[in-house]
Amino acid sequence: MTERALIAMSGGVDSSVAACLIKEQGYDATGITLKLFDNEDIGEKKEKTCCSLDDIDDARNVCRKIGIPYYVYNFKDSFKENVIDRFISAYENGCTPNPCIDCNRYIKFEKLMQRADELDFDYVVTGHYSVIEYDEGLQRYLLRKSPDVTKDQSYVLYSLTQRQLSRTLLPLGKLTKHEVRKIAEKYNLINAQKHDSQDICFVPDGDYAKFIEQYTGRKYDFGDFVDENGNVLGTHKGIIRYTIGQRKGLGLALPHPMYVKEKDIANNKVILCDNDRLFSKELYAKDINLIAYEKLDKPLHIKARVRYNQPEQDATVEQLSDNKLHIVFDKPQRAISKGQAVVLYDEDVVVGGGTIE
């Protein structure tokens, strides 16, 4: 019996080429787009966000061209609960969230996998640039970085479980972006030269604070900028407007540059410091997921990344409990932020990761 594959299609070139390759490989393929929100929900009047009507039309056009069924699934309630609400709560509690990781974790590889089970599909397919392989020696599925380092998305996929990895196909894993566009041109796809989306899909203009205020209807009180000794340096415009390590946009005239070190939520204060005070050598992470190992029985020297575009850094990781990691870097790291993901690598293999606390 031909294996069945459910392809998550955003309307972009990557997921469209993934659909072409899966069909070419002989799978019984169906394309779907996840309807995650209405533009009115996020204060947008125009169809300029990811998964807009234009994107749906592009995805439908690709499916029609390659001869596979196409559907739109409504996941708005799940997206609100698991992505948007988490995003807002993180900022309100002084953290810096990564909604793309939450979307992969709770929507694409949890809710969508459940839908695939209900509809009797064998696999879920996405257009991510990473590689899934089964290691006979370890008897585990591994997640590896893409050879195209400029597009590698293993950082946002660290939360995939063994079951999810076993049921996921990433046909772009070993391709470069240039090769993907060439394949799209070969198939004469309508979106072969479509630009990649760079923003968080529900905050297309990048103004997180404005989105949160519009979405919640709340206004966030002004408060004090203070130094590490508690001396008042000025007035901030709402604690959600600032992230760790930020210098620009503070609106202060100071004798020397100062940066956001932390946020005192209880007292509505933003604490500033000199640049050299932003560096630290260790962190703790919770809500962890390990891929290469079931658990870490002893400290392991690895490389770690504490934000999406950061180069990997040498570090030692120790697992303290089922849900906590302690990571010590060989060299101090700048502006480690609560709420961001720390992802661990052994060469090109994702060891696992967690949420910085």
Give the active site residues: 103, 201
Angle, helices 53-66 vs 13-24, to 10°: value is 20
Q: What is the Cβ-side half-sphere exposure of residue 308, based on CA atoms within 13 angstroms?
A: 14
**Residue 12 annotated as part of some ligand binding site:** yes
**Residue 18 annotated as part of some ligand binding site:** no
142 has which bridge partners? 133
**Residue 206 annotated as part of some ligand binding site:** no
Paired tokens of 321: 């409990």
Nearest to 143 by CA among 317, 301, 293: 293
| Through-space distance between the first and last CA atoms of the chain, rounded to whole angstroms | 47
**Residue 353 annotated as part of some ligand binding site:** no
**Residue 8 annotated as part of some ligand binding site:** yes
Q: What is the DSSP string of 155-217?
A: GGGTT--HHHHHTEE-TTTT--HHHHHHHHHHTT-TTTTPPPP-S-TT-TTS-HHHHHHHHH-
Residue type, 285: A
**Residue 14 annotated as part of some ligand binding site:** yes
**Residue 223 annotated as part of some ligand binding site:** no
Distance CA 167, CA 161 (A): 10
Length of the chain, please?
357
Distance CA 51, CA 43 (A): 15
Distance CA 335, CA 356 (A): 12
**Residue 149 annotated as part of some ligand binding site:** no
* Residues of the binding site for ATP: 8-15, 34, 127
